[in-house]
Each structure stands twice: as C-alpha cells, then as structure tokens.
A and B are shown apart, each in its own frame.
Chain A
C-alpha cells in the first residue's frame, strides 16, 4: 500500500465516530460555509477613505517604516531626494515601474533579468516598487509580483526598499478586505515594517535579513 493510501485510510478510520464524515463537504462549499460561523467583522470601525489612509500611515510608522506623503506630480522629485539622502549609487526598478517615477534620480538604474543572480542583487543599493494593496489596520503592504513590483527577491536582497502606494485606491481597512482583492495564484509577500527579530532577550532589532530600511510613499491624486 502506498503511504498516501495508508494515511488516508488512517484518517477515515480515525473519523469513524463522526456521523457525516464520509459524506464530505458539499462540492460548492455551502455546507462548509454554513458550519463556519463568520460572525467576525469585515473591518474594525467605520472610517472615511482619508481616515483609512491616516491609519495606514500611523500603523506603518508604528512598525518603523518611514512614511512620506506626496501628490502624483511630486513623486519623481521625492524619490530622487530619498535615494540621494540614502547615498544610493544604484537603484533597481521592476520592468513595469512607470518610467517617469525615476526620471529625476541620479543613481544608476539596474534592470532585473530572470538570469540575475542573488549576488548581483546583493550589490544593488536600493529598490523602488509599487504595491498591490495596503492594509490600514495592520500597517501592511502586499506585493503580488505584478510588473511594477517585480520578482520577490528584488525587494528582499537589497538593503533599502522604497514602496509607493497609490492612495486611497490601493488602501483597504482590514485583512479580510485585502484577501478579497488578491489573486492566490500569484506569489504574495505581505510586508509590515522592516524585518525584525526579538530573539535576543526579546530586544527588538530591525533588519536581520530583509531590507533594513523600508520607506513608504503614500501618493495621492493619480
């Protein structure tokens, strides 16, 4: 007998006391949804779109992301300023990043190719991306690998990540609302502040392996 059959057989025998176990859930999932009482909130509290953006900014900052606000037309200048302040000599941009975003930037632009090695990425100073959705209640950015966000590794290996969020459109209040907007077949990365550890006597230290600096630009009016 294969281990698959062995394990599934054990499961079925283990559930012998459960009356309807053998029938299984209805194909359309309705029986399952009926059994799981989703009496919890879709979002916590009622907020205007502006208030939701404010909450996002507050929670991002609380987890030590550096938050900036700008209007769409101010973005190129702001990005240029952030990268210059960082002293970035090279900046990586995913293929679908709007070209004008980086038009004022001095740093050399590095293209990400499928063949780029992790070592090459390790030499890049900064990376600039968009995002798929941002969650206000938790201060979370979600990247889904779209063309303006690129492969997961480009926002992981470089030490400085600047993420542009189009507000208010890309901002939702809560985790349930965010999941509803996302496509599970895409590779997803949820980011809440820079990487951190509390493994040494529970002292929080920012930045173990991911980017140690996360800057978020909340861009309105596009």
Chain B
C-alpha cells in the first residue's frame, strides 16, 4: 500500500499547512474557541450528575470490545434479525461499492431526490457526490449540514459541522443559495438564530413532505433484535426516518451492539458526552419495516453494512480500540490542537483526536495528510479522559507514529503488507511539520486540560521518526515525573529555537 487514493475524498493538504491556514482565520478561531469551551464546560456538568459515570464508561468499553472480539458473529446475527423484521441487508467492502449499492437502490424507486439525515458514514464515502454524478440530488437536512451544503463547504466538527460559520455568514449563505435549491430565504431575513432556524424549517419542510426516499446512518444497531437507533436534536432525522416510503441506512460494521439492554449504557453516556444534555431531544428506534396496515414508516428498509477500512483497523491490536468510538465529539472539544487548527485541517470527515487515529487507519498512511495526522497532537491525554468508551487516543497516536516512521506490518483491504519507513519522504516532512505546529504552541497546550501524568508512559527517550529528528535537535529529556507541558515551558526558553519550530513559524 502506498498513497492509495481514498475513494470519494478529495486530496487534502497535509495537517500543518491546513492548520496554518486555519490559525490565520480569526473568525474560525474565535468561533471554535467559543464553541469548544461552551460545550466542554456543559459536558462536565452533565457528566457530574451521574455518580456511576466511571462504571458506565467501563461498561461501554467492554460492550464494544466484546462486540469487536466476535464481530463476525454479531454481524451475522444482526443480518438475520433485520431480515426477519422485513429489511434487506447489503454488504459494502469499500466506499465505491457502498455508493453503487445506494445509487442502484434509489434508481430502483424511480426517484431523483433523496433526503438525508447527517451521517458520518455517508460523508466518509462521499455519497452525495456519487449520487449527484448519477443525477440524484441528496438534500442534507440537518441545519448545520444544510449550511455546509449551501455554502459549498466542508463540515468542521462532528456534532456542529458549521461551527466555523457565524450568524452573519449563515444569513448570507441562506439569502444567496436557498433559492437555487428550493424555497428561497424569506425577504428581510436577519441574522438572529431563531429567524435563521425558521428559514431552514420552511426551506426543508417542502422537501420532507414530498420525499419518497430517505438516507441515514445509525448510532447503534442491535444484533439480537435488528433494531437501529438514530440520536438527534432537530427532528430532521425523524422526518427522514418516518415519512419516506423507502429508507436506506448506511452504517459502519462497528456500530453493532449485541443486546437491547446495551442501549441503557450508551443512551446515558452519548447525549451527556456529546451535546451535554441529559438526553437529546429525539431518539428514533426502528426494527425492519412497517406493514401496510399500520403504515407507520417506510415500507422498504435497506441496511448497507460498510467496511471501508474498518476490518483493516480491527486487525491492528493497538489501533482497533478506535472502533469503539461512538462519535460523541467530546475529544474534539477538549483538544488544544483542534481548538487552534480547526476541523478542516484534519483533511477528513473525522476531525480532532479521533480523526487523528481513525483516518490514518481507515485510509492508510500513504498520503501526506494521513501520515501527518498522528503528529497532530501534544499527547496531553485530555481526549482519553473525556472519552465515554475510554479509547486511549495517545497510545494509538504513538503507535501510529511508530508505524509512519519505522514502517511495519499492516493490513490494507484485508491483505497483510509491510510498510516501508517514511524516512526522507514527503510524508515524513509533513509529519515533521505537524509535530512542529503542535510543539510551537505551548499556549495551545496550556489551554488544554491538565496534562495527566499518565501520558508520561508515552514519552520514549527519543520520539520515533520525525520526532527522532526533532528530539535530536531538542535534547528530549527523560520526563520521568514532569508533565510534558511543564517540561516544554521550562526548556523552550533557552535553546528553544530548534529546527521544528523554525520551520513552522516561518510562514
């Protein structure tokens, strides 16, 4: 494997270059800072309400681990249950196959429009673009996704994809673009959030009411019952899941959980970690199709189970824990690097700490962006602390850094291959600059949560690869008892003008 183009994704500049652009964008930075800090504080309060949070977190971790251990069995069981309930199950090995399946399913209905509820999986595979190429219009219905789609933009946050836009920009986008997509924005639209939301309600309602095909993802799939779960806030999910005649759900294979009872854990941890609410406004659960008599929801239901690099990730003993992720985005909101760099810098639909470990595993580290992602972190450990399924993101980051630099055995598309070390390649230089970006910003580090002493075990004497070059120039100390941040503060004063820093600050 090397540089294998990732189907459905445009080429992205490596992390450091994109991050620099973001840092220069003051609107973006102010919005991000406001947003991440607001959610971060609220989340802490929502979590503190439950005195058994640690136990819920541990149970969530174990449920996911047990599922992954026997993933083949649970997928087969899920398939059986969905089929028993009247649904049809499709399997897609990669993005291209998933897009093909969905396109054919939509074609078979004779429709040329679909309504979509925000889904990471369909963004990951570039479904909207693939449908568009076949003459099928996919309308995003989540308010933020609508803003992104109308603005011909990319999402920058898992949960608040338009976090980089402020109200004035949103009003301008609505005024200029809504008319071309359907019902135009009302005359005299101002930039108050309530008016903007109302404009979106009117614009999208005509699409919901006439939609014949809905496309969704899912937060959870229950193997024993065949139930799918979608957690949302706005009601656009309910619209897409209940009004159309045909529903197509594209879901990563790691979203399966064994039992109905398992939901009792995630329905407590997900809303609190994600929107910092006791419960999100709407959660929909459905099992198969509805019969003609009750006519409650779609008569045809298709589940597309997506691999697209997940089984390769599963093959990595350290990296597989990334598949536990329930996409709450708590790790983004506490990440000092994300706060500075913004979501777009990660060059993937999965930004922030989880993106830094998931994208290089799903896509491989052949491209500059993917090779640089494991370096887009200060290893401060705040992401691990807040993760509701206890993914040890720093551990995986260090592991992936080694992989980039030293090479080694990995699985790509189901086949074991040996990666060559990236030394001297463009990928290494990108990684090097990413490390430089992070280390040149002690202020960013300080903004993070306390540097847990636990990260100390990730401090090798010399950092692998780009880190090695860096540490050679910087004289990396042993860091036995001193948090990284303190060490940084202390040492950067004197000989702190090392090559890594020079390189990034020389705009």
* Complex contacts, A194 vs chain B, CB 8 Å: 281
**Smallest Cβ-Cβ distance to B66: which chain A residue:** A35
A170 at the interface (CB under 8 A from B): no
Smallest CB–CB gap between B142 and chain A, Å? Answer: 8
CB pair B275 A24 closer than 8 Å: no
Partner of A210, one of B76, B160, B238, B287: B238
Q: How far is B58's CA from A177's CA once the two chains are assembled, in angstroms?
A: 20
Known contacts A184-B260, A208-B236; A11 and B91 CB within 8 A of each other: no
B452 at the interface (CB under 8 A from A): no
Interface range on chain B (Cβ under 8 Å from partner): 35 or more
Partner of B278, one of A32, A139, A202: A139
Of the stretches B189-197, B378-386, B483-491, the one at the interface is: B189-197
Q: B-facing mask of A85-100, CB < 8 A → 1, else 0?
A: 0000000000000000
Q: How far is B284's CA from A195's CA once the two chains are assembled, in angstroms?
A: 13
Q: How far is B279's CA from A137's CA once the two chains are assembled, in angstroms?
A: 9
Smallest CB–CB gap between A183 and chain B, Å? Answer: 9
Known contacts A185-B287, A194-B281; A8 and B75 CB within 8 A of each other: yes
CB pair B295 A114 closer than 8 Å: yes
Most chain A CB inside 10 Å of its own CB: which residue of B167, B222, B414:
B414
* Complex contacts, A210 vs chain B, CB 8 Å: 234-235, 238, 281-282
CB pair B72 A11 closer than 8 Å: yes
Smallest CB–CB gap between A162 and chain B, Å? Answer: 17
CB pair B297 A187 closer than 8 Å: yes
Contacting residues of chain A (3-45) with chain B, CB-CB under 8 angstroms: 3-4, 6-15, 17-18, 20-21, 24-25, 29, 32, 35-41, 44
B187 at the interface (CB under 8 A from A): no
Smallest CB–CB gap between B364 and chain A, Å? Answer: 15
Partner of A32, one of B55, B66, B91, B234: B66
Known contacts A59-B278, A139-B279; A122 and B205 CB within 8 A of each other: yes
Partner of A209, one of B63, B73, B235, B253: B235
Q: How far is B201's CA from A194's CA once the two chains are assembled, in angstroms?
A: 14
CB pair B52 A37 closer than 8 Å: no
* Complex contacts, A20 vs chain B, CB 8 Å: 69
B178 at the interface (CB under 8 A from A): no
Q: How far is B172's CA from A130's CA once the two chains are assembled, in angstroms?
A: 42
CB pair B38 A202 closer than 8 Å: yes
CB pair A145 B201 closer than 8 Å: no
* Complex contacts, B295 vs chain A, CB 8 Å: 114-115, 151
B12 at the interface (CB under 8 A from A): no
CB pair A175 B264 closer than 8 Å: yes
Of the stretches B106-114, B309-317, B492-500, the one at the interface is: B309-317
Q: B-facing mask of A117-143, CB < 8 A → 1, else 0?
A: 111001000000000000101111000
**Residues in B lying within 8 Å of A, measured CB to CB:** 31, 34-35, 38-39, 49-52, 55-56, 58-59, 62-63, 66, 69-73, 75-76, 85, 91-93, 97, 141-144, 147, 160-162, 166-167, 170, 193-194, 196-197, 200-201, 204-205, 208-210, 222, 224-225, 227, 233-236, 238-239, 241-243, 253, 258-265, 267-268, 271, 275, 277-287, 290, 292-297, 305, 307, 311-312, 314-315, 317, 320, 411, 414
**Residues in A lying within 8 Å of B, measured CB to CB:** 2-4, 6-15, 17-18, 20-21, 24-25, 29, 32, 35-41, 44, 59, 63, 114-115, 117-119, 122, 135, 137-140, 145, 151-153, 156-157, 175-176, 179-180, 184-203, 205, 207-210
Given A9-B414, A189-B282, A199-B162, output 19 extra A-B contacts at Cβ < 8 Å: A11-B71, A14-B312, A14-B315, A25-B73, A32-B258, A36-B62, A36-B63, A118-B208, A139-B278, A151-B294, A179-B260, A185-B225, A189-B283, A190-B267, A198-B275, A199-B147, A202-B35, A205-B197, A207-B197
